């Protein structure tokens, strides 16, 4: 299917194991390859090779939710394994090319990752922050079905490993939840995910910004917006809004650096009018943040709010880490981490944070302008798109619009 580069697939030895593996030459454990017929396009990735009991229990469970033994392929994230040694990050990295090769060969419609190691193998390839970041990883992804742009047309899903389920067999609830989650995963993945492309327009100068904002002011459809600022809270001397990102439709995000010279007063006036318009429904991700900065910097009380997508994400799943916009952009739209180019500027230095707390001044004003504005526009775009996602599922309030996002 052409998912991966030659570099992704080439770090393999003649034995079929990764070159960085220190075990493969003298390994006494069998090296378990891809198996199964996969007639329904499901690739099951397990942590390690399953023994007969674990494999039998997996087959029986999948059969109980309508998936026969010829419907899927099975491949372990770590192809050889000693029972007394848990898989290491090095062994996962060494064996990852085997799994990527299997994905390319099979072109699955669903990649079912059973266990933490399986998740780290697949998701860690495309989104290491999601796979291994603090308050993320397997505990957050377990039970979820999500797209990933590194695997176009394919759903990814996480669930407990058969090894863990059998190890907790004394608790009957574990097996009930496992079967229920697998059934829900299979139902959700019955139709392919829809990829919605991202379009970003960077506006430079008052002459470019004003016409667009005036069209926004005259519209009635929901508007997603986001600020890049010099800190978390606007109260300390020297704080300011560095840029404004906004999305009038889920098809395109805009952003511009907010100038400080008198010629920008006209832009600020129009933006104040947008913030004060009840006709232009507004959406933010963490509404109190945009409210506070709007009130402080534009001297206006923002009204006409349609929703806070961070609150909606928390209502959907209250697990720690779930409601962040970067997490939601990945889980809903398959977007990998998109803040790498500005990550170093988002936070103040440790010394400044220790001294000033939430009023610490960060380095966003020094970020490369193009990268910062692209990031800002994407934040606004994903905020609006996320609101529509929740609206389609009955979780967001109605507003005047005619745009839907499926998937």
> Is the same domain home to 39 and 95?
yes
Cβ 71 vs Cβ 39: under 8 Å: yes
> Is the same domain home to 228 and 337?
yes
List, for residues 90-146, the tens digit of each pLDDT value: 888 888 999 999 999 999 999 999 999 999 999 999 999 999 988 899 999 999 999
pLDDT of residue 18: 47
H or E segment to which residue 269 belongs:
helix 265-275
CA distance 35 to 290: 52
Q: What is the mean pLDDT of residues 200-224?
A: 96
Which token pair is 379? 């934040």
> Is the same domain home to 369 and 302?
yes
> Is the same domain home to 266 and 294?
yes
> Is the same domain home to 225 and 132?
no
pLDDT of residue 309: 98
Q: What is the mean pLDDT of residues 249-258?
A: 96
Read off φ and ψ for residue 387, nearest 5 degrees: -60, -45
The CATH number for 93's domain is 3.40.470.10
Which token pair is 288? 């109190």
List, for residues 287-320, the tens digit of each pLDDT value: 999 999 999 999 999 999 999 999 999 999 999 9
Read off φ and ψ for residue 159, nearest 5 degrees: -155, 170
The CATH number for 292's domain is 3.30.420.10
pLDDT of residue 2: 47
What is the distance of C-alpha 63 from the center of its chain?
Answer: 31
Structural domain includes residue 401: no
Q: What is the mean pLDDT of residues 9-28?
A: 48
> Is the same domain home to 241 and 379?
yes
> Is the same domain home to 181 and 233?
no
pLDDT for residue 86 is more than 50: yes
List, for residues 370-390, the tens digit of each pLDDT value: 999 999 999 999 999 999 999
Cβ 227 vs Cβ 362: under 8 Å: no
Structural domain includes residue 63: yes
N-term to C-term CA, the chain: 21
pLDDT band of 247, cuts 50, 70, 90: very high
Q: How many domains does the chain have?
A: 2
Mean confidence (pLDDT) of the chain: 90
Structural domain includes residue 406: no
> Is the same domain home to 12 and 157?
yes
pLDDT band of 399, cuts 50, 70, 90: low
Map tokens 């007063």 to a residue.
Answer: 265
Cβ 405 vs Cβ 250: under 8 Å: yes
> Is the same domain home to 180 and 39?
yes
Look up the domain containing 208 and give its range.
200-392
> Is the same domain home to 173 and 300?
no
Of 243, 240, 249, the residue nearest 228 (C-alpha): 243
The DSSP result for 158-209, as a single string, is EE--HHHHHHTTTSHHHHHHHHHHHHHHHHHTTS--------EEEE-SHHHH
List, for residues 357-374, the tens digit of each pLDDT value: 888 999 999 999 999 999
């Amino acid at each position: 299917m052409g998912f991966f580069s030659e570099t992704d697939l080439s770090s393999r030895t003649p034995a079929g194991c990764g070159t960085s593996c220190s075990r493969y030459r003298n390994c006494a454990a069998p090296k378990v390859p891809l198996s199964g017929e996969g007639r329904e396009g499901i690739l099951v990735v397990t942590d390690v090779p399953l023994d007969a009991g674990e494999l039998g229990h997996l087959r029986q469970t999948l059969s109980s939710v309508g998936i026969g033994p010829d419907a899927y392929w099975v491949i372990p994230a770590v192809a050889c394994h000693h029972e007394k040694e848990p898989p290491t990050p090095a062994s996962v990295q060494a064996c990852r090319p085997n799994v990527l090769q299997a994905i390319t060969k099979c072109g699955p419609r669903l990649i079912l990752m059973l266990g933490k190691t399986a998740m780290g193998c697949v998701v860690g390839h495309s989104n290491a922050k999601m796979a291994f970041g603090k308050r993320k990883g397997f505990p957050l992804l377990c039970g979820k079905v999500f797209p990933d742009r590194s695997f176009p047309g394919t759903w990814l899903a996480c669930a407990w490993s058969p090894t863990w389920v059998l190890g907790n067999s004394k608790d009957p609830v574990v097996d009930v939840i496992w079967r229920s989650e697998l059934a829900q995963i299979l139902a959700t993945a019955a139709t392919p995910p829809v990829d919605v492309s991202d379009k970003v327009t960077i506006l430079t100068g008052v002459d470019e910004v004003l016409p667009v904002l005036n069209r926004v002011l005259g519209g009635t459809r929901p508007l997603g917006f986001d600020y890049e600022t010099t800190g978390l809270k606007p109260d300390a001397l020297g704080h300011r809004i560095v840029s404004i990102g906004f999305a009038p439709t889920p098809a395109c995000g805009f952003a511009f650096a907010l100038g400080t010279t008198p010629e920008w007063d006209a832009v600020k006036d129009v933006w104040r009018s947008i913030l004060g318009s009840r006709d232009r429904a507004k959406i933010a991700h963490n509404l109190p943040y945009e409210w506070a900065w709007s009130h402080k910097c534009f001297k206006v009380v923002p009204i006409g709010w349609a929703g806070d997508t961070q609150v909606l994400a928390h209502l959907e799943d209250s697990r720690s880490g779930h409601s962040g916009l970067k997490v939601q952009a990945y889980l809903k739209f398959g977007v990998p981490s998109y803040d790498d180019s500005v990550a170093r500027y988002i936070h103040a230095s440790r010394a400044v944070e220790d001294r000033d707390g939430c009023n610490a001044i960060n380095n966003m004003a020094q970020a490369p302008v193009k990268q910062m504005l692209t990031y800002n526009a994407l934040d606004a775009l994903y905020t609006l798109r996320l609101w529509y996602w929740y609206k389609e599922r009955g979780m967001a309030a109605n507003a005047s619009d005619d745009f839907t996002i499926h998937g």
